[in-house]
Chains A and B, each alone.
Chain A
Amino acid sequence: MTVKSLEQQFQERIDAGERIEAKDWMPEKYRKTHIRQISQHAHSEIVGMLPEGNWITRAPSLRRKVGLLAKVQDEAGHGLYLYSAAETLGISRDELFDQLHTGKAKYSSIFNYPTLSWADIGAIGWLVDGAAIINQVMLTRTSYGPYARAMVRICKEESFHQRQGYEIMLGLSQGSPEQKEMAQDALNRFWWPSLMMFGPRDEESPNTEQSVKWKIKRKTNDELRQEFVDITVPQAEILGLTIPDPDLKWNEERGHYDFGEIDWDEFWQVVKGNGPCNKERLGARVKAWDDGAWVREAAIAYSDRRSRSQGDEASRNQDVSAAI
């Protein structure tokens, strides 16, 4: 009989398509990678509320306003599902927030770009949520159970986000020349950052191989990026907008669109914190957390006082029954 190492048994479970649950044995690196990935994902949902929140008060109609409000509210909910999934791996909510607030943890770089016009809200829903959906659909089959289940919930809700954005783009592209110009400008600015959302090229993504082996990811960054381009180009054509890439063309042989080279210097600059809005976003997030401190403290103080007075009452009742 051969004695198999725990790692080997773990890999066999993964290979057999089994899901891993919180109390199962797992290699430390699997746990760490998941904490990092799930928390980055959660942080992205939370920070992602900021560029969109910027436009709630200036939405052009009530219909647009309630749609955007509902979307931003969903993002908060998605953050909460994901933080809970991360906590199953033995990290506390406070630690997770601390990592975000001190800049130790990353969030999706796309949210470090500014939302300059109303059309950007359309572009974000269409492109940024569109890119996120491609990634998240894959993650509904990820090997870690709590993460996969959070993804199923999120994907169900995400379709509305993208349609909300696309409807905005549609309205603008069919509107006045100025409105169409606004939509084109938003596409111009959000196209490349959306492609960057899938991360570095496969050959420069050191985590990909292990992540695929552990079925954390089931497709590589480049595969997902290609999928996004193939799906999105026809959608841009329906809008009558031009994707800002002169090298973009259908490749009959590959059955995919070819597309131009991403500006990787820009990608790494934004990842390293030098994007247009990195400081502003983190500053807004930290301020919201600090400004909300008194609410959290008041709720705990109230809860403590109530349990104390209930305790007093219980002991009084005991005294009474002892006296009887």
Chain B
Amino acid sequence: MNKEWPLYEVFIRSKNGLEHRHVGSLHAADDQMALENARDVYTRRQEGVSIWVVESSQITASNPENQGELFEPAADKVYRHPTFYNLPDEVDHM
């Protein structure tokens, strides 16, 4: 039997206070191995203080082909931005 190891996505927190960021992916036979491999592949120079791994097949991703209509609703809503509101120049701290 020749079964391919599943693909995992790897997220690293570079230091406390910052969020985990996606750094790349790797193959592993199980979750624990994925964590250890991630340490060896992605944090050899102390790039992180915490690792998350998740099987790539578990991620639900938006389809790039639908990008236009997916994000279109925000495109014409200028009033969600501070610059839409007209304030005199002398108003501070806003």
Using CB atoms and an 8 Å cutoff, list the residues of chain A in contact with chain B: 18-21, 23-24, 63, 66-67, 70, 74, 145, 148-149, 159-160, 162-164, 166-167, 170, 231, 234-235, 238
Contact = CB atoms under 8 A, between A and B. Distances in A.
Contacts of B88: 170, 238
A166 B79 contact: no
Given A170-B87, A231-B93, A238-B91, A163 B82 contact: yes
A21 B20 CA distance: 11
Contacts of A74: 80
A148 B17 contact: yes
A166 B94 contact: yes
B86 A167 contact: yes
B92 interface: yes
Most buried by B among A67, A163, A167: A163
Given A159-B82, A166-B87, A235-B94, 8 more contacts: A21-B16, A67-B85, A164-B85, A166-B85, A166-B91, A170-B87, A170-B88, A231-B93
Secondary structure dominating the interface of B = loop
Given A19-B16, A148-B17, A149-B19, A163 B94 contact: yes
Nearest to B88: A238
Interface residues of B, number: 22
Contacts of B85: 67, 160, 163-164, 166-167
A132 to B, nearest CB: 13
B44 interface: no
Contacts of B3: none
A105 B34 CA distance: 41
B58 to A, nearest CB: 14
Most buried by B among A18, A23, A159: A159
29 contacts: A18-B17, A19-B15, A19-B16, A20-B16, A21-B50, A24-B16, A63-B79, A66-B77, A66-B79, A67-B79, A70-B77, A74-B80, A145-B16, A149-B19, A159-B94, A160-B81, A160-B82, A163-B87, A163-B94, A166-B85, A166-B87, A166-B94, A167-B87, A170-B87, A170-B88, A231-B92, A234-B92, A235-B92, A238-B90
